[in-house]
Structure 1
């Protein structure tokens, strides 16, 4: 369904697409994929609101985008996804600056970090990668509904194959912590959230997608050690690993946000600018059935509402 693939860049997939009059909000926009996604969307005419937790890094990222796209329409908002109070304050700021949102790219995340907890006591990876974005997206829903047709892009990962979501102990309060299992759980949650969000908003013109960007050397890997690369390598030499550049790693996010090929679709897991095939034991890519299960998506939605202390009813 797509002419693009592993080698495609965000520039490639955005060529010929006019985003004039459209507004995009991007989390994790102070480095790596977030900056490139912001730059390319801005280059196609979108007004881009860049979101991050570090003011100095965000200011530098804005300068980087503006150097490449001098006419870019850019704004910023500060929030920390690991603190729900910060998410609520940041969402209020975003809604004031962007009462209409057409594209929301939930790009921020942490990976394979030692056991730590968010401000509200959630396990850091589940709390940041999923719960922070769950609350933020729910709070921004009025602007997305006002911007319909709109799309939400949640960055998942092939790492979702490490683990499903443990609905009974998502925050590692009873079981022993494993950083890769935890990362996998959080990335499965990103995919299930896309399914659940799409179910609830599609009749209102808002569609949601989960994206595996590929393996890219960015700040996301700052906690990785030699043993972690050996785990990912699966017996291969480092030079044999299928790494992407940042430009290539941003491509599927931009494709998910903008491609007419995805009009009328949603609740899908995308990789290499395609809808992913079902995962198999032999294949590098693909999506596990548990990451797209509507029943599990509903369970996660209800659990997430309970954990963040807020219910979202989009039918009113």
Structure 2
């Protein structure tokens, strides 16, 4: 369940080079791929070996810049841009319909969360890693609290809509995977308040407080998905390490990041970007079928660490209730038929 050569200092590029044979031929979908973000770095690294990398984002102009930069870095890369705004359930449904119509199978989905990256690659994987940190309490057009909409509710709906494609891509050798990028932040708060999943609490809202709720929801979703799918799709969550990206350019977020210890008065306290290389950005080790024996597992620094899940984020009753609440919000039941 872990690789002896990998650690907190391992980069995405280093891990990808080890598992080149397992990445080749795979079709990957990645959200949040703006240049200088971790989704872009994930796309750049995987594009060196994958059959197809679908890059997504809500801004088509920035998406085009990312495509051009990746193709410049890897001239033979097969990049396909897809406009996707996880803040809008209507947009999620539209994008999911487009992906479902692709002739290629969906092997890997990568949903990029600010500050972190997940990468669990096997034959069929959907990885949730999209996130929008907001300093102030905000509601989307669907009247959903913005952080939860992008980090949990939108990805939940997208997974539900792409489940048939993931199931169809499964083989006797591989089980489709859904990976949620959580973080150690899941344990820093009291867990998710099931009464405020939809709209949050504007009176108690803080950016990092809500961030911790979203991360708790991600861990719970991985556990519940694994249980409900009964072996058809396995869910996983992870903490991939903190990586300071273009989020620090947002003035309204600096104070919250400083309070959380991710920023000092003069910038990042430890980790800094160097060109397009992310020193602590990595792909966890489980590219291998061995991961299938531990559905719902949580990873830290490329090592399985389910014992580090906070009790409030591993409680099966809470996981079931969150799943039901989220189904109610999107207005659809999630099954695996």
| TM-score, length basis structure 1 | 0.87
What corresponds to 1:2 in structure 2?
A: 3
1:276 pairs with 2:312: no
Match of residue 135 from structure 2 = 113
Shift of 1:241: 4.3
Q: What displacement does 1:236 show?
A: 12
Q: 2:167 matched to 1:145?
A: yes
Distance in 1 (CA, whole Å) between partners of 2:138 and 2:321 is 25
Separation in 2, partners of 1:235, 1:249: 18
- Residue in 1 that maps onto 2:188: 162
Q: Determine helix, strand or coil for the equivalent of 2:332.
A: coil
Q: Structure 1 residues 240 and 120 mapped into 2: Cα distance closer, same or farther (>3 Å)?
A: closer
Measured after TM superposition, the shift of residue 113 of structure 1 is 2.6
| Number of the residue aligned with 1:281 | none
1:14 is matched with: 16
Give the equivalent residue in structure 1 for 2:60: 55
Structure 1, unaligned runs of 5 or more: 279-285
Matched, 1:247 2:249: no
**Higher helix fraction: Structure 1 or Structure 2?**
1
Which is further off, 216-225 or 111-120?
A: 216-225
Match of 2:42 in 1: 37
Contact (CA 8 Å) 2:254, 2:263: kept in 1 or not? no
What does residue 207 of structure 2 align with? 179
CA offset digits 1:173-217 (Å, max 9, x no partner): 57522222111111111111111222233512x322212222211
SS in 2 for 1:184: helix
Unmatched runs of 5 consecutive residues or more in structure 2: 113-129
Write the mapping of 1:188-227 to structure 2, written as runs, cut at 5 A.
Answer: 188-201=216-229, 203-204=231-232, 206-221=233-248, 222=250, 223-226=252-255
Specify the SS of the correspondent of 1:200: helix
- Distance 1:28-1:255 versus aligned 2 partners, 3 A rule: farther
Instruction: Count how many residue pairs are aligned between Structure 1 and Structure 2.
Output: 305
